[in-house]
């Protein structure tokens, strides 16, 4: 029984091999875009989580702490992504490459063939 097929049918990508290292300039740009997307997603996630933390105590940082918290969350998200992340960037990278391959492998239609 192939676990990769089973996991893919259920939406899990845990058994998928990691994408190979980028070789071309396009692949480097795609990897960077995928990593940036994951970092942005994680930053939003962390901002939502930290919004629920009450800071009513005597050591509350006030407005300065609120401003710093979003910067801290962005840096944590970038750090998480650099260290392998949660797998979102790998999925986005694969989809970017699939889309690029599909665009280049699709036959070109002449204007008379388009209806």
pLDDT at residue 3 above 50? no
In a domain? residue 111 = no
pLDDT of residue 43: 97
In a domain? residue 11 = no
In a domain? residue 48 = yes
In a domain? residue 32 = yes
Count how many domains the chain has. 1
In a domain? residue 110 = no
Q: Which of 20-29, 33-42, 54-63 has the lowest mean pLDDT?
A: 54-63
* Structural domain of 87: 24-53+60-103
In a domain? residue 13 = no
Per residue in 61-98, pLDDT tens? 777 787 899 999 999 999 999 999 999 999 999 999 99
Higher-confidence residue of 7 and 19: namely 19
In a domain? residue 36 = yes
In a domain? residue 109 = no
Pair 90, 14: CB distance under 8 Å: no
Buried b (16+ CB within 10 A) or exposed e, 37-66: bbbebbbeebeeeeeeeeeeeeeeeeeeee
**0.85 exceeded by pTM:** no
pLDDT of residue 36: 97
Per residue in 100-115, pLDDT tens? 888 877 665 666 666 5
Q: How many helices (H) and strands (E) does the chain have?
A: 4, 0
């Amino acid at each position: 029984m192939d676990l990769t097929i089973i996991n893919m049918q259920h939406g899990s990508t845990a058994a998928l091999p990691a994408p190979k290292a980028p070789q071309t300039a396009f692949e480097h740009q795609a990897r960077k875009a995928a990593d940036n997307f994951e970092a942005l997603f994680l930053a939003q996630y962390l901002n939502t989580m930290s919004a629920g933390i009450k800071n009513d105590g005597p050591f509350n940082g006030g407005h300065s702490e609120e401003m710093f918290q979003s910067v801290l969350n962005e840096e944590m998200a970038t750090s998480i992504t650099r260290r392998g992340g949660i797998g979102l960037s790998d999925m986005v990278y694969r989809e970017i490459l699939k889309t690029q391959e599909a665009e280049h492998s699709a036959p070109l239609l002449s204007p008379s063939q388009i209806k």
